[in-house]
Chain A
Amino acid sequence: AARMFLRLLSDVRWWAVNSKWRGGTCSRRKSSSTAEPPPAALPAQAQVVICGGGIMGTSVAYHLSKMGWKDVVLLEQGRLAAGTTRFCAGIVSAARHMSIELKMAHYSNKLYQQLEQETGVNTGYVKTGSISLAQTQDRLISLKRVVASLRAMGIPCEIITPKQVAQLHPLVNIHDLVGAMYVPEDALVSSANVSLALATAASRNGVQIHERTSVSHVSVQKGRVTGVETDRGQIQCQYFVNCAGQWAYELGHSGEEPVHIPLHACEHFYLLTHPLNEPLASNLPTIIDPDGRIYVRNWQGGILSGGFEKNPKPLFTEGRNQLEIQNLQEDWDHFEPLLSALLRRMPNLEALQIMQLVNCPESFTPDMRCIMGESPTVQGYFVLAGMNSAGISYGGGAGKYLAEWMVNGYPTENVWPLDLKRFGTLQSSRTFLRHRVMEVMPLMCDLKVPRWDFQTGRQLRTSPLYDRLDAQGARWMEKHGFERVKYFVPPGKDLLDLDQSKTFYKPDWFDIVGSEVKCCKEAVCVIDMSSFTKFEISSTGDQALESLQYLFSNDLDVPVGHVVHTGMLNEKGGYENDCSIARLSKRSFFMISPTDQQVHCWAWLKNRLPDDSSLTMEDVTWKYTALNLIGPRAVDVLSELSYAPMTAEHFPSLFCKEMSVGYANGIRVMSITHTGEPGFVLYIPIEYALHVYNEVMNMGQKYGIRNAGYYALRSLRIEKFFAFWGQDLDAFTTPMECGREFQVKLEKGMQFVGQEALLEQKQNGVYKRFTMFILEDHDTDTDLWPWWGEPIFRNGRYVGKTTSSAYSYTLERHVCLGFVHHFDEKTGEELVVTTDFINQGEYEIDIAGQRFQAKAKLYPFSSLFTQRRRKDELELSGYQRE
C-alpha cells in the first residue's frame, strides 16, 4: 500500500517535462532497473544556488526566474519534492491569524490556481473550501477574529451555524458545535505536483536543476557567500538560499561561518483510507477541528486525516537522508487520540477501511512563525524554512517575498515577524529547540489568546535582580530569551492558573496593573528594563558622529549629555529601528533599542558603518541592568540617593549624566522613561545592580515606591500615543506617517538614509497615518477586549488595522493605535491621507465581528496627569462632606 501511495503522489506526467531540462538523457523508470546514467555536470558558477527542491526551493527559483534572475542553480539531495513536500496534506488555507501569513497563503492560492495552465503540469488544484469548527464559545471568538481580518483583505468567508456545516459536509457530527468558519476559496492540491510545476516553469526560465546533489557546506569569505561545496563538486555563487526544510538547521551549522536557523523537526502523522462505498466528492470541503486537534480532507474518494497531538515526537535529522525520513515508522498507539477525535467528529467512518498511516516529519520554529531572510552574519546567505506544517499554504507567497528580498533588497510587505534576524544564537541550542517545538506543535490547535507566553525554554537570559523580583510576586514573560516582569502579584492574592487565565475578555490581572499604573502616576514605580538592546559606538575622531548622522534621521550633533530619540531608517524612509541615543562624549554614543533589535540592528549597522578600525561598536546589553523609575516622585528618590539636585532646571528631560547612586558610582542616568511620564532610567553596571535596587527601594519607601511590570508600561505608553517598534512601527512606516516629523532633521546639513523619501512625503503627503482611537461604547467588564490586528472602519468602510491596544486606567477607556489609509471608493487605489480626512470621519473598531465606536486622535492628550488630578479633586470635594 505504501508504494502505491507514493506513486499516486508523484504524478507520472512529471517525467514528460522532466526530460526537457535533462536533455532527455534520464528517466526514473530505467534508473531503477538499470545503471544510473551520468548526471549532467554542475556549472562552475552561478549567481544563485538554492539548496532544497521542495516547495520552498522551487518557489524561490520560480519567482527569481520570473523577476529576471535566471542564472540560478537548484540542488536537491534526493529527488525533487520528495521531502516533507511530498507527504504534506496539500491543504491551501488562508485561515491564518497573522496578517503576513494570511497574505502569503492568499497569494499561494491564486498562484496554484493558474499554475496548471501556465506549466501544463497537473497540480490537482480543487477549490473545496474549508470549514473550521468551534466546539466552544472562545474558539468561535477566535474564528470571528480571523473572519474580520480575512474580510478586510477581501477574502470571502463567513461564520456559519452547525446546521449549515451539516449541509456543506454530510459526514460531520454537529451536536457539540457552537459554530464554524467557512472559507469557500480554500483549496486542495497535490503538493508534490505543485512543486514540480514550479520547477518546470523555473527550468523553462533558465534555472538549472540538479537532483541527487547534496550541499556539504557553504564557503564564506569576508562575511560574504562565495560558493558551495557539493558531493559533486564546487559552484561559485554570490547568493545562497537555504531551503533545506528540516535539514536547514544542520546545513546552517555546516559552514565555516555558522548560520543559526532555529528549527526542529517533529514526526507528524496522518491517515489515508480506501474510498467510501459511495466515494467522497473531490470538492467536499476540508474540515478543520482545532478543538479535536484534527483536520480531514477528501482524498481519492476516501479521506486523509491528521492532526497535532499534545505529545509530539521530536525527530533528529542528523545523519538521516531523505530516504530514511521517507521510511519512518507508523505509530498507531501515538495516533490513537487523533483517531478517537476523528471518529467522534465523523462517526459514520467506523466501517471505512484503512489504507495507511503516514509519518511525515514537519519542521517547527520557536515561535510558530516561519523563517525567512538574510543571515545577520553572512551576506548573500538567505533562508526560507521552518513552515510549521503550513508549507503548502505559504509556499507561493513566501517564495515570492524571498525572491523580492534578494532582487530588490526588501519584500513588498513587512516580513519582520518572519525575519531570521528576530532570532539570535541563543535560540539555536538543540535542547532549547527540542523542548520548544514540543510546545509549539500542540499550539497549532490551541486557542490563540492575547498575551500568551511560551512555557518552555525559559529563564535563559535574566536580570541580576531576577530572584529578588520573583520573590516579590513577579509574573514573567519572555522576549528574545530575556525574562521580563508582566506585573507583580501582591502577597495574599491568587491569580488563575495558566489554562484558566486564557481569555478574550477582561483578564484577571486588571486591578493589579491598575494599581501599578496608579502608582506610576501618583508616586514612583521601578521597572526592570534590562532586556533592552544597548550598543556603544565610539571613534578616535569624528567618524562615529559622521556615520551616525548618516544612518539616523534625527540630528545627533547635540551637546554632550543630551539624549535624542531617532529612527534608523531605510532608503524608503521606513523604520528599521527606533531608538534613543545618548551622546556620552564628543566621540562616543550610547544607543538603546528594543529587545528584539539585538541581531537586526547589529547587522544593519555592521553592514553600513565604514570599515574603519578607529570606529568601534560594542554590544553592551549584558553589561548594564536598567531600572526605569517612573513617576512624579522619581526625582525625589534619586536626589536623596545621590545628593544631587534632580529637578528640571538641573536635570532637564532627555538628558544623560553619569552619577553616583548610593555607594555605587558611574551610574548612567537618563531622564527618559519610554512612557511619556516623568522619571529616569538608570543604566547600572551589573555588579552594582542589587545594591542600587536595594537603595532605591529603601529610599523610595517614604515616597510610596513599588515594583511594576511591562503591562503597566504598555498601558502608559499607549495612552500617551507612544509608538513601539516591532508592534506599531516597521520598515514600511516613516516618521511622517506616525506624527514624528519632529524627530527628523531634514536640514541637519548632511545627507542621511531615507532623506529623499521623507522629503518627497513631506511634499506629497502620506498614504497612511498613525492614529489613536479611544473606544467609546466599549464595556471593559463585559465586552471583548481589543488586542491588535482589529480592522478599523471609517464611515463604514475599511481603512486599516490596529497595531496595539491597551486599557488606559487614566481615561478609563480602551485605547487602540493603528494606521488609517485612504482607499478610493471606486478603484480601491490608495490616496493621500490628510489631517482633515482623519478628523472628519466616524470610526469603528471591529473586535471579532462586533463594532465599537471610536474617537480618532492624531496627537496625544497634552497632559493626562493634570486632567486626571482635576477630576480627582472634583470627586474628592464632592465626597468631603461624608
Chain B
Amino acid sequence: MMSVLQIRRSEKDILQSRAAEIQREIQLGERKIFSEVLDLSSGDLHAGGIKPITFVRQVLAACSYPALLEDQSLPSDVRRRAEDLLKECEGGSVGSYSESSGMVKIRECVCEFISRRDGGVSSSPDNIFISTGSQTALMKLLTVLIRPEDSCRTGVLVPEPGYATFRLALQAQRAAIIPYQLCEDQGWTLHIQELRRALQGATHTCTPAAIYICNPGNPTGHIQSRTSIEEVIRFAAEEKLFILADEVYQDCVFADDAEFVSYKKVLSEMESPISSTVELASFHSASKGFMGECGLRGGYVELVNVDPAVQKYIQTLFSTRSCPPVPGQIALQLMADPPKPGDPSFPAFTKEVQSIRHVVCRNVRQIQEVCRELPGVRCQPLKAGFFVYPRLQIPPKAIKWAKEHQMKADMLYCMRLLEEEGLHVRPGCEYGQAEDTYHIRLFVGTQADTMEAALQRLKTFHTRFLEDFS
C-alpha cells in the first residue's frame, strides 16, 4: 500500500474520539461535573451555535424545491435569486451536473467579487475553478505540482504553525515538507530570512517547487502586511516557487488596524515581469466568514499566470470528478453577491452579519482578557481568522509527566481539560511549533454563552493544572 501517512493516530483524532465518547457517556447518564462537552476545537460557526444566514438558506430551499418560488412568504429577492440560479442549471434542476469548474454565471459572479475586493483588478471566469471546498482544489493543485518520484521529491514550503490537514495532504501526495517558522514574538509574522534558511536547508534533499501561505493565518490569527506579501512574491520569483495562497479567512478580519490585501492584488501592483510571471493559486471558500457554510463544500481557486497548456490539464483533472456540488456553488454565488441596499432582504441580512461580527469580536476580547489574567499564558493579538492561539508556560513536572506518557505537554493539557472540564480545544503540537513551546488553539466563533461557559471552565482548569504540577 502506497501511503506514507503515519500509522500513529493524530492528536485531533484522539481528542475528537474522546470528546464524542464523553458526550455519549453524559447522554447515558454517567455523572460528570459538566452537562455537555463544549467544543472550541473546530472552525465551524454553525457547530458553535451561530445561525446560518437566512437569505442564504431561503435561496437554497427555493432552489431545492422550486414550488417555493410561488411562496409569497419568501421575500421577492430570494425568489428572484433562486429563479435566476435555476435558469443556469441544466433542466432547471440543482440535481443536474454543471460544468466541471462550476456554472459559468457563478464563476463570473465570483470574478466580480474578486475584482471589487481588489480595487478593480480584472479576473476571468476561465481562471476560476469551483471545487468541493477549497481543500479539494488545493489537493488538485498539489497533484499537478508534485512529481511522484521518490528519489528527489518535490518540496513545498509550509508554515509552522500551520494548518494540519494540509500537511496530511502533502504526506498523502509524497511531497517533501519544508517547514518555515513564523515569528511568534512579533505577532506570528513571516520573515524572509527564515524562508531563505528553510529553503537553503532543503535544496539538497528535494526539489522545492511551491510555497504555501495561509493568510489570514490558521491557527495564528496573523494577517500579512502588504510589504510582507511583496517580499514573499519577490522571494518566489527569485527562487522559482509557485505560490499557493490559502485566503479562506479573508472575510474574518477583526482588528481595527488590520486590513486584508490579496496576493493577487499585490502581485498586480508590482513591476513587470514579476506581475505577469509569478505563478499564483488563490483559494477561498464559503466555509468561513460570516456564512460559515462548511458542510455545503463551496470553494474555489483562482489561477494567475499559470501556463495555459498546464491549465488545460488542470481543467481535465477537474472534469474527471464530474462537477462540484451544486449547493456549494450556490453558497459561493450568495457569498460573492449578497443582498444590496434596497433589496427586501438587506436589512435582515445586515443585522445578522453584524450580530455575528459582534459576537465574534466580543468572544475574541473575552478570550484575550482571560489569557491576560491567567498566569503563564501569553497571547499574540488576534488580527484575523477564526482562532486564538495562546502560548502556555507549562510547569516542568507536567512536561516530564507528558514525556513519560509519550505525549507532548500541550496534548496532556488538552486531554485533561477535556476529561476534567469537558472543554475541547486543540493542542499546538498538531500545528508544528518551536521546540519546548506549547500552545492551544481556541475557536472564536461560538454563541456568547457557550464562550462564557468555556472560558470559565478554562480558568478553573488552568489554575488547578498549575497547582497539580507545581
Co-assembled chains A and B: no
Give residues in A with beta carbon < 8 Å to B.
Answer: none
Give residues in B with beta carbon < 8 Å to A.
Answer: none
